[in-house]
Chain A
Amino acid sequence: MTSAARLEFRSRETVRELAQRLESVVAAIDHKPVAVMHVCGSHEQAIAKFGLRSLFPEDLDVIMGPGCPVCVTDVPEVDEAVVLARQGVHIASFGDMLRVPGSVQSLTDAESDGAKIHVIYSPRQAVDIARSLPHEQVVLFASGFETTAVATAALILERALPPNLSILSSHKYIPPVMEIVAEMPATRVEGFLAAGHAATITGWGIFERFVERHQLPVVVAGFEPADIMAGLVELATLVRDRTPRVVNMFPRCVTREGNIPAQQQLWRVFKPTGGRWRGIAHIPNGNLRLRDEWAHVDARRRFEIDLTSLWDYAPPQLAADCICGDVMAGIATPADCRLFGAECVPDKPVGACMVSTEGTCRIWQQYGGPRVVLRTTA
């Protein structure tokens, strides 16, 4: 980033001005509290890191929705990876996935029992690992939303995968889950802050039908402090004026059409299928699975994954008390969970939201929750 850009989007004066505008826009809304939802772990991360929550008006609830792909990876998907790992297959995955609890074990637990787990920073590293282990089977446990799914797709389309590498896709697709949240009976959400980076791929036009159907405004926002505050000002204004539409507040990266070559790659490799998102619901078209054309690199078809092999283990007791699902649906906050900060800590997570650096519970644990220190006299 150039220093000029840093000045512009991290200008404290700009952010303070935006905070005042947000205050007055929210004050002019005829009901309280006002609730909006973002669907992106990176938004929550930035809000927490820069201390922006202490600037939000008291009457504005900015809820973190199901925006962390690791957190919404469901138990059976983790189980598939754990079973493969226990069968002796090498698993390559992003660090965040390692501690996500399955029905009885996480990949970290499997590693303690001798499984071979490799932490990667980019899908491409899985290729290097497979090449260095020509006599072993390596599986890329691929997670992430459409943004990261494109990287997996590109890898497959290059047709340069070593024969001993296959893909276990737990990639997810964000737009369908917004529909589900909007339709939840308990929902208080009056507008969505959409993730700038995902929209870079999909384009902002994809939200137009959503707005029409649900009459809820959508604002696409970036991740710098001024981006987020400006996005919220715009969103609150649309709520105040009862003018639901899509506004792109991240035009330096996002266009209406999005990145068309990336979309083509994505849909050539993946097909959307229905599936459960952890704690949320069954999401029609929410999961990205490999198309039949790529069956030869699909770990689900290469291996017989027998989930019953985990049945010998007793499931952890604490999991029953975990309210990650309600947290991700925006109905509860980590403060409502009796495990939060006690039995459930980053080091020994019970629920998925405590695992990922993008999970709400983890972020609250790391940065001290919403407004804890706002009223400190300096």
Chain B
Amino acid sequence: MSISTLARDTRVAMKHGGGGRATRSLIGELLIRGFDEPARGFGLSALDDGAAIPIGDGQSLIVTTDSHVIKPIEFPGGDIGWLSICGTVNDLAMMGATDVAGLTCSVILEDGFSLEVLERIHESMVEACRAAGTTVVTGDTKVMGRGEIDGIVINTAGFGFTRRVVRDCTLRAGDLIVVTGTVGDHGMAIMSARHDLGLGMSLVSDVAPLNGLIAAAMRAGGDALAAMKDPTRGGVASALHEMATKSGVGIVVDEPFVPIRDAVRSSCEMLGVDPLQVANEGKALIGVRPEAVDRVLDALHSHTLGRDAAVIGHCISEHAGSVILDTGFGRRLLIESDGEPLPRIC
């Protein structure tokens, strides 16, 4: 699967923002080119959720940034403000920085944007910061002309400190894959709201700050917590592909054990969408050495955001870079979606 998808394109397309192969080739083949690595720690070339810079005393500074665009900007379970805080908090948490020192916030608005809606979005951001135990420490605002931008774009950056940097490239054969809860909730809630599908089901986004949950898992797992990644764009399939490729292992997913809400399962089935390829905003995939898996699961289960946590797969030495789905009937490859089935999920 090393075929360059970028070489065939002459323009940026929606698929380049989908989180799958197209996104990775755009970043890998173009956007990170030419930048030197930081003198210490790791940065862009690791293509992890953020950078880690050692600052002495066994501590590392974790830095990450994320731009948020979503349609609709208010959706069941959250809005763009809530999402913009949680997304960055979660990227920090995935690298072990569960104590978030502070966030920055840049807002770009379209001429004519409703102040009432902006106030609600701002309220959500404040609330999300409280839930994550952090705050916005600096920011920037720009307004663009009508039609020059679609409503609102929010960029947040975050920084935190950790003594234990967790990577997404450190899985070994034998490690177990834990998901911290039900899969596909965010993507299906957005899809249903955006296209007014009227599915008559309670599809609610899972967007939430995960740093508290991850702190509990890290305490319980210690060094046996091997790797982490949040399955956002491209869903579980994309995140596991990335982990498998970077770690040089194969991953077998046991489909019957993947927790999926009934409403998500049936709406996916109706629309022909694979819940494993749908975005999540409040879930983590954790690679755990087998001896620690019970401890980690116990810790997750006793947190409100981790009640549905489950072991969904394991790592093997064969088929490095592949994700294999055991459907319970037979086995097949779990392929990454090449671009978003529907544009701009998050």
Contact = CB atoms under 8 A, between A and B. Distances in A.
Contacts, number: 75
B129 to A, nearest CB: 39
Contact of A348 (B8, B252, B319): B8
Contacts of B327: 49-51
Contacts of A55: 329-330
Contact of B15 (A51, A341, A347): A347
Given A347-B339, A378-B316, A50 B5 contact: no
A346 B337 CA distance: 10
Interface string B162-191: 000000000000000000000000000000
Interface string B320-345: 00101111111111010011000000
A172 interface: no
A373 B3 CA distance: 21
Interface residues of A, number: 32
Contacts of A357: 272
A357 B332 CA distance: 17
A55 B327 CA distance: 11
Contacts of B338: 345-347
Interface string A349-378: 000000001000000011111001110111
A376 B316 contact: yes
B318 A377 contact: yes
A225 interface: yes
Contacts of B274: 49
Contacts of B250: 376
Given A357-B272, A368-B335, A50 B316 contact: no
B328 A374 contact: no
Nearest to B337: A366
Contacts of B22: 347
B332 A367 contact: yes
A54 interface: yes
A54 B331 contact: yes
Contacts of B252: 376, 378
A296 interface: no
A373 B329 contact: no
A53 interface: yes
Contacts of A51: 325-327, 329-332
B335 A373 contact: no
A48 B22 CA distance: 24
A377 to B, nearest CB: 7
B4 to A, nearest CB: 11
Interface in B302-328: 314, 316, 318-319, 322, 324-328
A49 B272 CA distance: 10
Most buried by A among B15, B256, B324, B327: B327
Most buried by A among B3, B331, B339: B331
B8 A54 contact: no
A347 B339 CA distance: 8
Given A345-B338, A365-B335, A367-B335, A15 B8 contact: no
Given A347-B338, A378-B252, A54 B319 contact: no
B192 to A, nearest CB: 13
Contacts of A378: 252, 314, 316, 326
Interface string A41-74: 0000100111111110000000000000000000
A363 to B, nearest CB: 10
A99 to B, nearest CB: 12
B329 A225 contact: yes
A372 B318 contact: no
Given A55-B330, A373-B319, 17 more contacts: A12-B256, A50-B330, A51-B327, A51-B329, A51-B331, A52-B330, A54-B331, A347-B15, A366-B335, A367-B333, A374-B331, A376-B318, A376-B319, A376-B324, A376-B331, A377-B318, A378-B252
Interface of B: 3, 5, 8, 15, 22, 250, 252, 256, 266, 272, 274, 314, 316, 318-319, 322, 324-333, 335, 338-339
19 contacts: A12-B256, A45-B272, A49-B274, A50-B330, A51-B325, A51-B330, A346-B338, A347-B5, A365-B335, A367-B332, A367-B333, A368-B332, A372-B332, A372-B333, A373-B322, A376-B250, A376-B318, A376-B324, A377-B316
